[in-house]
Amino acid sequence: MTAVTNYYETHLEEEEAVGWTEDELEVVPDNVRYEIEDGILYVSPSPALWHQKFELKVAMMLDSQCPEEWTSVPGAEIRIYEDDKVMQARSPDVMVVPTEATTTEADRNWVAPNEMALALEVVSKSSRSRDRITKAALYAEWGIPLYLRVEGKPAVALYEYRLDAETGQYRTPVQYTDVFETDAPFPLRIDLSALR
Amino acid sequence: MCDANRYAEGSPPRTPVPTVTGMTAAVGLYEPPDGWSDEELVQVPEGVHYEIEDGRLVVSPRPTFWHQEACRRLANVLEEQCPSQYWPVQEGEVRIYDGRVVAELRAPDILVVPRELTRRGAHRGWAHPHEVSLAAEVVSRHSYTPDRTTKVAVYAAWGIPLYLRLETEPEVILYAYRLSGNKTYEKPTEHRDLFTLEDPFQIQIDPGLWH
């Protein structure tokens, strides 16, 4: 982290030094999980193994059902830029993005909020408040039409948050404990028993 | 980077506090393996601006003079007009415990709490969410997202009946959020001129104070 540290300590003293350019983000080591809020970078720990398993399984389930134009990816980044600086960056556990953004030709490593079909978070002890409250508020603010929250404990459950066009917020989430089925943004069935 | 004095050989492993990158070293904080109990929180150096989310301590940059001045003016207005059983505090803490450790801790710029919590010798220096009648944030560049979006959702989920958001750039606007039935706030009302509050107590706030 030394390079990042030095960068930040130098720049914190400058009034206008908020936000991260792509070159500066290149300096962040690969294994560091980070998010950017209001131009400030925060690092977070790696989640538990059961969480990783859920994340992988649900990403595969989604991907097998995505129509051609959509692709499910784990651990990718949503970014909001101001000029050439990243002011916001979030990494939902799984997201469904346009297939054209995932081609080798496109060679992209982020998507904008308005490109996304859905975001999904697997809730762990270290992310309860974030996944249940703050990220739900943020994804709604960004206009992500569907947010799925998967709880692993005490029993597996999925919560479906749908954007209300009038309020711009998510409606009260609907809970599923067995099978989640929907037609929007495309026909999708998630059998929660397969996640255990 | 580790503060060697605090962690003797053989003590459990600790991970750096997640924070503004680079400030970890400056602040020298490492997460206690069992979470932040009262005893552990005492170790946080004074002047460090922190909150706890999901049991993890997050350090944020210090606010500007203008931000502090804007907060003081709001606290003054509230202090002049609050009924005697309430009192405004600046950067007071709202805490939720999970056993002995603090699971959630937020420090709104201004809190209005029961007067007895602010008296000399009060037995505790923080508030439960249900004791907070009003929380307010003065929005600064480092806090756009929390003050406008994410903390708003937290305060609503905690049942804080009234949330005030003061924007001072480019224009002074006071936003008032009131709780609706299902632990969310209704669409906020916007005030560019005198704002009159009836509930939980009568107060008038003139946005002209921040011009």
> Is 90 exceeded by the pLDDT of residue B157?
yes
B105 Cα distance to chain centroid? 8
Q: If you search the block for the tokens 């709604």, which residue do you land on? A: A140
Which residues of chain A have a CB within 8 Å of the CB of B16?
43
Q: Convert the pLDDT of each residue in A177-191 to its tens digit.
A: 999 999 999 999 999
> Is 90 exceeded by the pLDDT of residue A145?
yes
Quick one: average pLDDT of B157-175?
96
pLDDT value at residue A126: 82
> Which residue of chain B is at minimal alpha-carbon distance from A170?
B184
Q: Which of A40, A51, A164, A171 to mutate to test the interface with B (most CBs of B within 10 A)?
A: A40
Q: Convert the pLDDT of each residue in A63-119 to its tens digit.
A: 999 999 999 998 899 999 998 999 999 999 999 999 999 999 999 989 999 999 999
Residue A174 CB neighbours (<10 A): 12
pLDDT value at residue B7: 41
Min CA distance, A187 vs chain B (Å)?
30
> Given CA atoms A51, B184, A185, A113 in this order, what sign does their dihedral have?
negative
Which residues of chain A have a CB within 8 Å of the CB of B142?
18, 38-40
Which A positions 146-185 lie with beta carbon below 8 A of chain B?
167, 169, 172
Which residues of chain A have a CB within 8 Å of the CB of B25?
5
Provide the ipTM: 0.78
> Is 80 exceeded by the pLDDT of residue B5?
no
Rounded CA separation B6/B3 (Å): 6
